[in-house]
Structure 1
Amino acid sequence: MAISRPALITLTALAPVSWGTTYAVTTEFLPADRPLFTGLMRALPAGLLLLALARVLPRGAWWWKSVVLGALNIGAFFPLLFLAAYRLPGGMAAVVGSVGPLFVVGLAALLLGQRPTPRTLLTGIAAAFGVSLVVLQAAGALDLPGVLAALASTASMSTGTVLTKRWGRPEGVGPLALTGWQLTAGGLLIAPLAFLVEGAPPALDGRAVGGYLYLAVANTAIAYWLWFRGIGRLTATQVTFLGPLSPLTAAVVGWAALGQALTPVQLAGMVLAFGATVAGQIGPRRKVAAPRTLAVDRAVRPSASRRGGRPEAYVSVGRGPRR
């Protein structure tokens, strides 16, 4: 089904908006000090649900590719993110995470052949600065392991985003199955670590069950499906510039639901970060089409070269759009 570019961007943006509610749900509904178990409950049930809906398993090289993507986007990202959040003061983890667009710009240049422009670099810096104004409030000595964990989590998710764009997906496989493969692989990687570090699962009351259901279904299964669907149809840079919406949503939820005040400086930072997010979506006008598989791309490419050009609607899997 055809979808306009603004509608596609809006749907993809719902993923980081949903992730911005994670902190409030975790603090208000879930057992304390169980970050790895929470990561497990987010990833594995969601992955199994999507696998049941898609009813498609990886084949051939996609077994190891699914494990790699699942480790980068889920299995390594979740534990590192939680470790950073526990060791760093205030919103420092979110500030470090907000440099994700700059990570993706560099990786896209190396792996996808997308040359960064000065406007893209300045937009990424503006987004990180805006997020820092919103979330960086608490003072305190920086913890080196926490900073390294935050950087590693950002690098992990950024690499996973770019590789997801580079590899595309197998012929006949939709984003639902691809998301299910990654969530299941990531959840299985987190499971032994969670039980080794945190022990047996905690007792859950009704509030906790409701919180975990929300995280697994809306916050993870649906949100990651929208995210990976967006990666297949937008550039990696466009998708990652939606990331700052997560800490901005967390600030708004904290103000609206938890009674946390917003200062004028924070409001200015929100405007700056949101403006950078919008600016990150502005690029050459091109037709939005369903992502092409490698087999289709090979079929299209010869005819395009005979005409002296290539159709802009198609993205070359493994090399990325040329600019």
Structure 2
Amino acid sequence: MLSNIRFVIALTAVAPVLWGTTYITSTTFLVPGHPLLTATVRALPAGLVLLAIGRRMPRGSWWWRSAVLGGLNIAGFFAFLFIAADRLPGGVAAVVGGIQPLLVAVLASLLLSERLTGKVVAAGIGGVVGVALIVLRSAGGLDAIGIAAAILGAVSMALGVVLTKKWSSDLPPLVVTAWQLIAGGVILAALTAAFEPLPSEAFTLTNVAGYAYLTLIGTALAYVLWFRGIAQLPTRIPAFLGLLSPVVALAIGGLVAHESLTLTQAGGVALVFLSVLAVIATGTSSARTSAATRSRR
């Protein structure tokens, strides 16, 4: 039982590891200055690929549920994330987004009856501080719209994660992921058509390779593993695993720039890992208790 939980946790952790490669992929391989187009290309083709594999269309309430979840987890989160990243100084958007695991834990306690403990709250606070130490840089004044977008992005994803857990227990994660990506991709495509001009130059082979990686690996594969983890684990565990994304981005950036960690960044990495491990420990402890209870029956 516990070995299976650890395996699911390890697979789920692959998702934020892959998301940690998004920044270097976007800045190195993609067309700059087109964030909504990038978000659309991430979501819609990935959803269509997964739908072709799963071969299952929504039925009944899943038409509107897919639209809601796609709007929260994909379209709303991506759009708010890009607005925040564009209007806030380096790292601030990531720090504000770091409140998402704590939001997930609170919402899960309200909507899913998952237990909210002091250890989880402390881990959530530690995670925000850890991300701040990793990414935050000195900067000028903060933009109110940017802060609001970052908060709304965290709330959108947190609510989407909890509702995904609440609604999709009887469906394969691949199918649920496909529907969400398609719904979110359609919304993003409409936003792109309305608010963002298309690139003036044709894509290069480098651009195509970058978009292919982001679509197939960084989105399709990552989100299947992510939603699979949400379906099989206490919701707080995947949420806290998401804190690994800035750690991976920092490591990749350091390798590319040949820079070593500062003492502050090293402290932030350690704090993030401690926060994640603390929450994982609560999940495995609950599983051990449940298994012991069943064995006595």
TM-score by length of 1: 0.86
CA distance in structure 2 between the aligned counterparts of 1:64 and 1:216, rounded to whole angstroms: 24
Once the two structures are superposed, what CA deviation does each residue of 1:93-151 show, in whole Å capped at 9, x if it has no partner?
11011111111111112111123111110011011101100000131111000000000
CA distance in structure 2 between the aligned counterparts of 1:261 and 1:86, rounded to whole angstroms: 27
Structure 2 equivalent of residue 294 of structure 1? none
Question: Which secondary structure does the structure 1 equivalent of 2:281 belong to?
Answer: coil
CA distance in structure 1 between the aligned counterparts of 2:107 and 2:10, rounded to whole angstroms: 24
Structure 2 residue 199 is matched with structure 1 residue 198: no
1:286 maps to amino acid: A
Q: CA deviation at 1:201?
A: 4.4
Structure 2 vs 1, CA of residues 238 and 220 (structure 1 numbering), >3 Å: closer, same or farther? same
Gaps of 5+ in 2: none
Aligned 1:62-81 pairs, distance under 5 A: 62-81=62-81
Q: Is the 8 A contact 1:91 1:138 kept in 2?
A: no
Q: Is the 8 A contact 1:67 1:186 kept in 2?
A: yes
Structure 2 equivalent of residue 214 of structure 1? 213
Question: Which secondary structure does the structure 2 equivalent of 1:282 belong to?
Answer: helix
Structure 2 equivalent of residue 53 of structure 1? 53
Higher mean displacement: 106-115 or 27-36: 106-115
Moved over 4 A (4+): none
CA distance in structure 2 between the aligned counterparts of 1:260 and 1:146, rounded to whole angstroms: 29
Structure 1 equivalent of residue 4 of structure 2? 4
Count of matched residue positions in the alignment of Structure 1 and Structure 2: 290
Higher mean displacement: 193-202 or 25-34: 193-202
CA distance in structure 1 between the aligned counterparts of 2:149 and 2:223, rounded to whole angstroms: 22
Q: Is the 8 A contact 2:134 2:247 kept in 1?
A: yes
Q: Is the 8 A contact 1:169 1:178 kept in 2?
A: no
Q: Is the 8 A contact 2:17 2:244 kept in 1?
A: yes
TM-score by length of 2: 0.93
Instruction: Report which structure shows greater RCO (CA 8 Å, sep ≥6).
Output: 2
CA distance in structure 2 between the aligned counterparts of 1:8 and 1:129, rounded to whole angstroms: 27
Aligned 1:71-220 pairs, distance under 5 A: 71-170=71-170, 173-202=171-200, 203-220=202-219
Once the two structures are superposed, what CA deviation does each residue of 1:11-60 show, in whole Å capped at 9, x if it has no partner?
00010111011011101111111100000000000000000010001110
1:175 maps to amino acid: P
Q: Is the 8 A contact 1:12 1:227 kept in 2?
A: yes
Structure 2 equivalent of residue 32 of structure 1? 32
Q: CA deviation at 1:260?
A: 4.3
Q: CA deviation at 1:285?
A: 3.9
Gaps of 5+ in 1: 288-309, 313-323
Q: Is the 8 A contact 2:114 2:234 kept in 1?
A: no
1:228 maps to amino acid: F
Structure 1 equivalent of residue 244 of structure 2? 245
1:133 maps to amino acid: L
Aligned 1:260-271 pairs, distance under 5 A: 260-271=259-270
